[in-house]
A and B are shown apart, each in its own frame.
Chain A
Amino acid sequence: MVTEDISKAIRRIDAVSKSKGTIKYLSDYDLDDYLWGRLVRSSIPRGIIKKINLPDLPEGYFFVSAKDIPEGGKNYLHMIATDWRCFADGDVKYVGETIGILCGPDKTLLEDLYEEINIEYEEAEPAVSIDEGIACKGGAFINGNNIHCSLKLEVGENVDSVFARADKIIEETIETGFQEHVYLETNAAACKKVGDKYQILASAQCPFYIRKSIAPVLGIKPEDIVVQQTTTGGAFGGKEHFPDVLCGPLLLAAYVTGRGVKMIFDREEDIEFSVKRHPSKVMFKTALDKDGNIMAMDSKVYYNVGAYLASSFVVLQRGCFHVTGCYKFPSFRTEGFGVATNTFPSCAFRGFGAPQTLFAVETHMCHIAEKLGIDPLEYKSRYFIKQGDVTSTNGRVVERVMIPEMLNQVLDASDYKRKSREYKYGSGRGIGISFYNHGGAFTGNGESAIIKAKLRLHKYPDGRVEILCGQTEMGQGFHSIMPKIVSRVLEIPMEKVVFDDPNTDRVPDSGPTAASRSTMIVGYLAEKAANLMKPRYDKEEEFEVETNYEHPEGYPWDQASFQGYAYLGYGWGVCVVEVEVDPCTGEVTTRGIWSSHDCGHLIDELIVHGQTNGGILQGIGWASTEVLENVKGHFKQTSISDYIIPTSMDHPKQGVYYVENAYRWGPSGAKGMGELVFNGSGAAYIDAVSRAIGKRISAIPCPTERVMDYMLHGHDFKEEF
């Protein structure tokens, strides 16, 4: 009988094989009979393809492009929307757009041939930034106004009428930049026809997404494609939809050549030609009464979507839902716009739209407080949202909100109150604080209306139990979490629970490994299935049980108007960061990082701890050193020596705390947490830096030279906005 708390850390199932390097990634596979594939891409951000000049291809070498799509096939990839073309055809809309795939057996010769390809274009003027997109620079190319998608949310009294009687209105714009995922393993995929089906091997988060997305290219059914996930060395959202961009061309190449075709990106290729986090611009208009209390907050949220919509409307929605952060304002309105530009399409990245608006609202709240001469903590705490309060979508917060308890932990550990009092603005030392949340799983009724997750447990005669679902391990620890949940219920050793990388022909579709939903939703299905299996486990030799997602009653959601209960379980977070700024150079030294999170009951404290450390560091990287500029459609930073992710030397050991707040519909009370831990550290860091230099910082990333820029030319907190 296993009685100890499930939170107690175990050794991860993949710890040894990944540390020793014995586990096989796609590039370790013996695929010698496969051809190599090399994507041929647009080198300009916008224009007409006039001519593709290919070198003479030796026998066994192929160039496959849109014109090879067979009768009945469609030239698009299905990623929620269906606008992303598998191959550019006639024109190109961004640098890096796939034009064709060059295939051949010898990689060196293939590279030589690739270097000889010359494509002639008639170039057009691109729109690159959000502002250029809105201004329709070079002429609108989407919907006549370059707005891919938009939405509007309102709560309480109409903000315009509140503004009419406000004592003061503060307008401020907060901006965030691109972010690259920098997963350890670059993108890789392979495709080959095996029997009457196409077999895909891919480093990916969502095997079922791939087959659905690429099947239209050949006009076949998703079931005609088998996707086998291979060990995935990190993803962060960068392998949610993006593997489709590799697999679509590979599928057509396998069809045309009759051979297996494989593709492994090198690092520069992966940084230069892959999806990124959406840059954002959030314009606030906030009404204050004579005592400085917030009467209403209005905002316009702009996300740089890039050339294709793909999944970005959902990202924008989540951004708008989170723009009120952890606060409740008497009156609120937001309008969100997904702006079309000639940049590589933006896509999923840990947080999925929430980090941008959370950073914006946290920073804006700090700046209002500082303008009023109030400590940001004190000011923010006036508006903390509580259980039962109305959310940004006119739903209610279902669970208990433990911000006060979390705050106490972090205040004690960091000595925030004393430091905030003692470190004078501009003194070179600063401490900052942020509050954040993350709605777990798909929005509203998405889990029941769209995903309909399914999971099976199979018991074998030898007592082993196999977990059959589509969730993937990508470094986050899911291969350890699930067997832990199942073995705990069945009271059998973890070694008896089998959980392999999914193969779409073997496992039911349990939805994507995304949206912080895997433990919360699919883990819960596993727990339920194990409970169903338990009474039969000793009696029956071999059998299966299946569980299906059921949405709790009484929490309505209307996807057309975005009204109702957007999320049943939020993760919550508080983060404090302390810094020191070099008065000569503007260099920032992080002195301390303390955080507390509510992720329900922890399934494994060490795995959660690892996620927290990494998420917080990645969030500070986004806010500080991770500069990714797009100049005339080209990403300027294209290697890991100039795209600067933080190292463990940059930030000290973190103080990490959790509160116990079991979630009703999660396994052992667990909630989503993978994205939550990213969402707030950037704002706390920037709060600290801006206090240390005594200047308002309103845009990230903020590397050393930008800190110096703010030191020299920034606005004091007391200045008008």
Chain B
Amino acid sequence: MEKVMCYIPKTLNEALEIRNKEDVIVLAGGSDLMVSHKRTIGLTPKFDKSVMIIRNLPEIRKIYMDGSECHIGAACTSREIAESPLVPWHVRQAASRMGAIGLRNSATIGGNIANASPKGDTPGPLYLLDARVKIASTDGVREELVSDFIIKFRTIDLKPNEMITEVILPLSEDDFDYVFWHKVGTRKANAISKVTLSQAVKFASDGTVCDYRASATATGSKTNRSRDVENIIIGKRIAPELIEEVIAAFDGIISPRAMPEFRRESCRRSIRRFLTEAEKRRIEGCRDKVIDTYDGYYVPCAPVCRLS
């Protein structure tokens, strides 16, 4: 077997230098890579290329605000994200229900994006909130929408010498009147997503919708969101016929292969539920921001985060 190297750089610059010289596998938390490369019990995982561990690079371990934008370092773990009051609600929700506790202590947001799994937990909220990834290389720094960066199943727009360093969130729940995030997992804890829907709506003072967003994961080869679909209802007042129009259009942008009826129907019902309930609450003047799939929905594992 050919020998491969394991690099553990101390600074981001050092990491970028290594990445510039050699096509290394970038490993952050390892929760995907160590599993996909594992061999039988007791043996070291088998990598065909050198590995660079970036878990402890200080530059990409921070969560901070820059103006109104929240910056999350690529090597921040799901647990750190779930517990940070700076992070938008949708993202915290997704991070808090990702896998099991042990996994949340190691899995990183950069890894979750780079893995580009259609079942990944964080891309749904990131698409919803127009999140950008910051990408660095020895040539410099660039930014790209997460929704463009993830090209398709297991494919990302990253050059061999580049690294994801940050995720930037220009929006948060404060920019919306009502929010929705619901993961249908394989079970109530330690679960992979069967389908997850993120939604948010904002009303103008005249009661018309001034912004509406919906993104779904595990419904196709990548996270699904379409501004065209959302535009159907933007500028208008929510009405049952319009909701059905949105539902039909959203149905057109998703392409689930396994369990298609279940995934489509869950999305349909969740969109109907959210928009109907949001309109009801708007009319009633109810300020409870979070809408779930039904009233009194009982979540036995209490979400780590609450609305501020």
Q: Do A and B make up one complex?
A: yes
B300-A589 in contact (CB<8A): yes
Tell yes or no: B11 within 8 A of A by CB.
no
A641-B192 in contact (CB<8A): yes
In the complex, chain B residues whose CB is within 8 Å of the CB of A98: none
- Residue of A267, A582, A704 near B194 (CB, 8 A) is A704
Tell yes or no: A674 within 8 A of B by CB.
no
Beta-carbon contacts under 8 Å, B238-270 to A = 259, 261-262, 265-266, 269-270
In the complex, chain B residues whose CB is within 8 Å of the CB of A708: 261-262, 265-266
A647-B190 in contact (CB<8A): yes
- Residue of A266, A646, A649, A652 near B40 (CB, 8 A) is A266
- Residue of B43, B192, B269, B270 near A108 (CB, 8 A) is B43
CA A545 to CA B265, docked complex, whole Å: 68
Tell yes or no: B140 within 8 A of A by CB.
no
Query: Which residue in chain A gives the minimum CB-CB distance to B189?
Result: A649
Beta-carbon contacts under 8 Å, B256-300 to A = 259, 261-262, 265-266, 269-270, 273, 293-294, 297-298, 300
Tell yes or no: B151 within 8 A of A by CB.
no
A107-B43 in contact (CB<8A): yes
B262-A705 in contact (CB<8A): yes
In the complex, chain B residues whose CB is within 8 Å of the CB of A428: 294
Tell yes or no: A712 within 8 A of B by CB.
yes
Query: Which residue in chain A gives the minimum CB-CB distance to B39?
Result: A111
Tell yes or no: A585 within 8 A of B by CB.
yes
A712-B261 in contact (CB<8A): yes
Tell yes or no: A151 within 8 A of B by CB.
no
CA A704 to CA B261, docked complex, whole Å: 12
Tell yes or no: B307 within 8 A of A by CB.
no
Beta-carbon contacts under 8 Å, A6-59 to B = 27, 38
- Residue of B259, B269, B293 near A705 (CB, 8 A) is B259
A584-B266 in contact (CB<8A): yes
Given known pairs A266-B40, A584-B270, A584-B293, the reply for A642 and B188 (CB within 8 Å) is: no
- Residue of A27, A38, A269, A582 near B293 (CB, 8 A) is A582
A705-B300 in contact (CB<8A): no
A583-B192 in contact (CB<8A): no
- Residue of B40, B43, B184, B298 near A585 (CB, 8 A) is B184
Contact with B along A577-589 (1 / 0, CB 8 A): 0001011111101
A625-B43 in contact (CB<8A): no
A649-B188 in contact (CB<8A): yes
B297-A647 in contact (CB<8A): no
Tell yes or no: A709 within 8 A of B by CB.
yes
- For chain A, the bracket of interface size reads 35 or more
A266-B294 in contact (CB<8A): no
B42-A650 in contact (CB<8A): no
Beta-carbon contacts under 8 Å, A670-718 to B = 703-705, 708-709, 712
In the complex, chain B residues whose CB is within 8 Å of the CB of A585: 182, 184, 195, 266, 269-270, 293
Contact with A along B182-218 (1 / 0, CB 8 A): 1010111111101100000000000000000000000
How many chain B residues have a CB neighbour from A under 8 Å? 32
In the complex, chain A residues whose CB is within 8 Å of the CB of B187: 625, 644, 646-647, 649-650
Query: Which residue in chain B gives the minimum CB-CB distance to A112?
Result: B1
Tell yes or no: A264 within 8 A of B by CB.
yes
Q: How far is the CB of A103 from chain B (nearest CB, A)?
A: 14
CA A38 to CA B265, docked complex, whole Å: 46
In the complex, chain A residues whose CB is within 8 Å of the CB of B266: 584-586, 708
A704-B293 in contact (CB<8A): no
In the complex, chain A residues whose CB is within 8 Å of the CB of B186: 625, 642, 644, 703
Beta-carbon contacts under 8 Å, A287-305 to B = none
CA A529 to CA B39, docked complex, whole Å: 50
CA A428 to CA B189, docked complex, whole Å: 22
In the complex, chain B residues whose CB is within 8 Å of the CB of A704: 184, 194, 262
A712-B269 in contact (CB<8A): no
Q: How far is the CB of A111 from chain B (nearest CB, A)?
A: 6
CA A555 to CA B264, docked complex, whole Å: 59
In the complex, chain B residues whose CB is within 8 Å of the CB of A266: 40-41
CA A709 to CA B186, docked complex, whole Å: 16
CA A24 to CA B214, docked complex, whole Å: 52
Q: Which of B44, B184, B187, B192 is the most central at the interface, judged by chain A CB atoms within 10 Å of its CB?
A: B187
Q: How far is the CB of A531 from chain B (nearest CB, A)?
A: 47
Beta-carbon contacts under 8 Å, A637-670 to B = 641-642, 644, 646-647, 649-650, 652
Contact with B along A168-207 (1 / 0, CB 8 A): 0000000000000000001000000000000000000000
Query: Which residue in chain B gives the minimum CB-CB distance to A708?
Result: B262
In the complex, chain A residues whose CB is within 8 Å of the CB of B270: 584-585
Contact with B along A558-596 (1 / 0, CB 8 A): 000000000000000000000010111111010100000
B297-A582 in contact (CB<8A): yes
CA A416 to CA B294, docked complex, whole Å: 24
Query: Which residue in chain B gives the minimum CB-CB distance to A624?
Result: B187
Q: How far is the CB of B192 from chain A (nearest CB, A)?
A: 6
Q: How far is the CB of A708 from chain B (nearest CB, A)?
A: 5
In the complex, chain A residues whose CB is within 8 Å of the CB of B182: 584-585
B269-A650 in contact (CB<8A): no
CA A589 to CA B266, docked complex, whole Å: 16
Contact with A along B130-173 (1 / 0, CB 8 A): 00000000000000000000000000000000000000000000
Contact with B along A426-445 (1 / 0, CB 8 A): 00100000000000000000
B273-A264 in contact (CB<8A): no
In the complex, chain B residues whose CB is within 8 Å of the CB of A108: 39, 43-44
Q: How far is the CB of A354 from chain B (nearest CB, A)?
A: 26
CA A646 to CA B187, docked complex, whole Å: 7
In the complex, chain A residues whose CB is within 8 Å of the CB of B259: 705
Given known pairs A583-B294, A587-B184, A641-B192, the reply for A111 and B43 (CB within 8 Å) is: yes
Q: How far is the CB of A690 from chain B (nearest CB, A)?
A: 17
Query: Which residue in chain A gives the minimum CB-CB distance to B297?
Result: A582
CA A283 to CA B139, docked complex, whole Å: 70
CA A266 to CA B195, docked complex, whole Å: 30
Query: A649-B300, A709-B262 provided; 11 other pairs, C-beta below 8 A?
Result: A264-B41, A265-B41, A266-B41, A582-B297, A584-B182, A586-B262, A589-B188, A589-B298, A647-B188, A705-B259, A708-B262
9 pairs of A and B residues whose beta carbons are closest in the complex: A705-B262, A649-B189, A584-B293, A266-B41, A584-B269, A649-B188, A705-B259, A708-B262, A650-B188
A sample of 29 cross-chain residue pairs with beta-carbon separation below 8 angstroms, ordered by A number, consists of A27-B41, A107-B40, A107-B43, A108-B39, A111-B39, A186-B41, A265-B41, A266-B41, A580-B298, A582-B293, A584-B266, A584-B269, A584-B270, A584-B273, A584-B293, A585-B269, A585-B293, A589-B188, A589-B298, A589-B300, A625-B187, A642-B186, A647-B189, A649-B300, A650-B188, A703-B186, A705-B259, A708-B262, A708-B265
Which residues on A are within 8 Å of B, measured CB to CB?
27, 38, 107-108, 111-112, 186, 264-267, 269, 428, 580, 582-587, 589, 591, 625, 641-642, 644, 646-647, 649-650, 652, 703-705, 708-709, 712
